[in-house]
A = this chain, B = another copy of it.
Amino acid sequence: MSNNLGIPTRAENYSEWYNELVQKADLADYSAVRGCMVIKPHGYALWENMQRALDDMFKATGHVNAYFPLFIPKSFFEKEAEHVEGFAKECAVVTHHRLKANPDGPGLIPDPDAKLEEPLIVRPTSETIIWNTYAKWIQSYRDLPILINQWANVVRWEMRTRLFLRTAEFLWQEGHTAHATYDEAETESLTILECYRKFAEDWMGVPVLVGLKSEGEKFAGADHTYCIEALTQDRRAIQAGTSHHLGQGFAKAFDCKFQSAEGKLEYVYATSWGVSTRLIGALVMAHSDDKGLILPPKLAPLHVVIVPMGRDEETRARTFGVADDLASQLQAHGLKVKVDKRDKESPGAKYNYWEMRGIPVRIEVGPRDLDANVAVIARRDTGDKETVALDSVVARAVELQGIIQSDIYQKALAFREANTVRVDTWDEFTAAFDGDGGGGFVVAHWDGTTETEDAISAATKATIRCIPLVPLAPSDAEPGVCVFTGKPSAQRVVFAKAY
């Protein structure tokens, strides 16, 4: 380790930096169960704030929450041909409903007499169980639309896992909506996509590309998939949310028809959409630095930490009193505040502790500062310190929340812009992805075929992240020739190596 914080720097080892930071910042921990994580209180408080903001957006756009079963009968996956390919492979399979004492030794074994007639799958995603239910609920156009979301855990048996980015179990929300027409489902998909963009940019402070997935990258069972894609500091893409127009595929698989206003029986149109605890990984990767986590104030579980100093009782009584008073005033402004009164930690150790955990603003209250009627305010994002008159400390600490929220977004945006390139030849393309880490976003022409996409991916590990809904530059929308095949291309698309 190159510093005494217990994590390597990003330059030393980006991957280890991430792994160690997530644990040291008290976001998550490994568990005894392969691929499953423990989300620690600080990480969970962040997730709760994310949930609240997203849930408010969903409700403001007419959605309600519900809850569907954890288990899905195996046969349900067999109904939708593409979906089964994508989701019924690496999954947790429940085969028994009882343990019994092992007759041949110590311990417990699955009871052979309690074998399930049909295995159950722990949901990797809930389209099948939900559409099985919707088929019961929907008879007429008057039952439509259904605009339901659920907050749930899901399991996908990943072979290589990383905390938050790819875990066997993760937490997410999954929206599942039912509509009378293709156009209404399309509007829904795009409404949610805009919620996701807004959440990523305005709340997380993470700029995202908004686009359509290629056929090769779309959701198994979807008509088409929209996504938001962020860029990490090691210049890789990270898919941060997806919104799928499912067409009538699931309605057909589960025989879900409705009687239209004209009296005709028609299949229902569907969407589904989700974001997960992966967002926490994207957040860490976007903003954090070698000292630890950097949190956007709008999602931070704690906005201000106050460190009062003093070696003797009398001094401490004085600085603690001022700290408590500042805390009350800040709380009255709606901020979450902690006064760190631990008596066995040095101020420096406290600074490191709270910097690692990403608290946006620190206020230092020392006896000499008080003699001068000032306090010191430190910003977590820039490390800047300023000495502020005591009667302006509260206003400044409040003001800084908005400034930090905006500045970390602008910084990430500038980073993305500096790491987005346009290339026109295969040599330029491969050069962009040559070397460690990612190569940023590479905007290039592609002939539109899955074959070419696969060949490019095999050669460079880069994949098409999205076909932007709005061209990143006006000229991106002009036709050209594919970097790989030289065949005609309608527009540029965005390539990157991805997490």
Chain A residues packing against B (C-beta within 8 Å): 29, 31-33, 36-41, 43-45, 47-48, 64-78, 84, 88-100, 106-108, 110, 119-122, 129, 132-133, 136, 148, 152-153, 155, 157, 169, 171
Contact = CB atoms under 8 A, between A and B. Distances in A.
B69 A33 contact: yes
B38 A73 contact: no
A157 B121 contact: no
A94 B97 contact: no
29 contacts: A32-B73, A32-B129, A36-B69, A36-B71, A37-B69, A38-B67, A39-B66, A39-B67, A41-B65, A44-B65, A44-B66, A44-B67, A45-B65, A70-B122, A70-B155, A74-B99, A74-B108, A75-B107, A84-B108, A89-B98, A89-B100, A90-B97, A91-B98, A92-B97, A94-B94, A95-B96, A97-B157, A99-B121, A152-B153
Contacts of A171: 67
Task: Name, among A33, A45, A64, A69, the residue most crowded by chain B CB atoms within 10 Å (CB to CB).
Answer: A69
Nearest to A137: B29
Nearest 3 interchain pairs by C-beta = A36-B69, A41-B64, A39-B67
Contacts of A84: 108
A154 to B, nearest CB: 9
Contacts of A68: 31, 38
- How many copies of the polypeptide does the oligomer hold? 2
Contacts of A132: 31-32
A36 B99 contact: no
A173 to B, nearest CB: 13
B169 A69 contact: yes
Contacts of A64: 41, 44-45
Given A44-B64, A94-B95, 20 more contacts: A29-B133, A32-B69, A32-B73, A32-B133, A33-B69, A38-B66, A38-B69, A45-B64, A48-B65, A70-B155, A75-B107, A78-B106, A78-B108, A89-B98, A91-B98, A92-B96, A93-B110, A110-B119, A122-B122, A153-B153
B99 A88 contact: yes
B96 A71 contact: no
Contacts of A45: 64-65
Nearest to A150: B44
A203 to B, nearest CB: 19
A119 B121 CA distance: 14
B75 A169 contact: no
B129 A33 contact: yes
Nearest to A63: B41
A120 B36 CA distance: 12
Given A89-B98, A93-B96, A119-B110, A153 B32 contact: no
